[in-house]
Amino acid sequence: MRHLLILSLAGLLITPQVHARAIPNPNQRHAPGNEEAQKPIAEANYSVGVNYQLQCAGCHLGDGSGSAANDTPRMKGFVGNFLKVPGGREFLVRVPGMSQSALNNAQLADLLNWLMREDGMAGKSVPANYQPYSADEVATLRARTMLNLPGTRGDLIKAMRAQGIAIDDGMND
């Protein structure tokens, strides 16, 4: 019993030193090539694919498959269906992950257009009459906050079902 008490006390004395090593050294220099201050994403001129990885893949995953467990719908092969129902085009811009992203309006328009390519996330779900998003359209739409994401999405899904569109987005609604 005495040995256990001594070991416990020794552990308590060592613990603060271990945690102290985790505090960054304020005099430490940046790694070579990282000396410049980080630019905001809106100014970084990343490719559209990189912007997807930085802004969307955390929830929708890198391949757009989404995660029902995390309440994140699949985009791959499905997201273009939103453009087939009234209000769907606006919805895609106004989804909080899009409208509140760090991307500027032109980058967000480019990202949406990239998603809608037939070889992109939307695949064959994009309507034949698809018109690309513009930065001005995105600026106008993203300025209007969506107050009821689940309700708005649910109404759009109902409209898709009424058109006979198969709902294969990985969600249960």
Q: Report the chain (173 residues): mean pLDDT per 10 consecutive residues.
A: 68 57 69 70 77 78 77 84 94 89 91 90 90 95 88 90 82 58
Q: What is the pLDDT of residue 11?
A: 64
Q: What is the pLDDT of residue 46?
A: 77
Q: What is the pLDDT of residue 126?
A: 92
Sequence-ordered list of residues with C-beta below 8 angstroms from that of 54, at least 6 positions apart, any chain: 41, 46, 102
Q: Residue 115 — left, alpha, or beta (φ > 0 → left; ψ -120 to 50 → alpha)?
A: alpha
Query: What is the homologous superfamily of the domain 46-162 according to CATH?
Result: Cytochrome c-like domain (1.10.760.10)
Q: What is the pLDDT of residue 139?
A: 95
Crossing angle between the packed helical segments 135-142 and 105-115, to the nearest 10 degrees? 100
Distance separating alpha carbons of residues 146 and 150, to the nearest angstrom:
10
Task: Supply the pTM of this predicted model.
Answer: 0.74
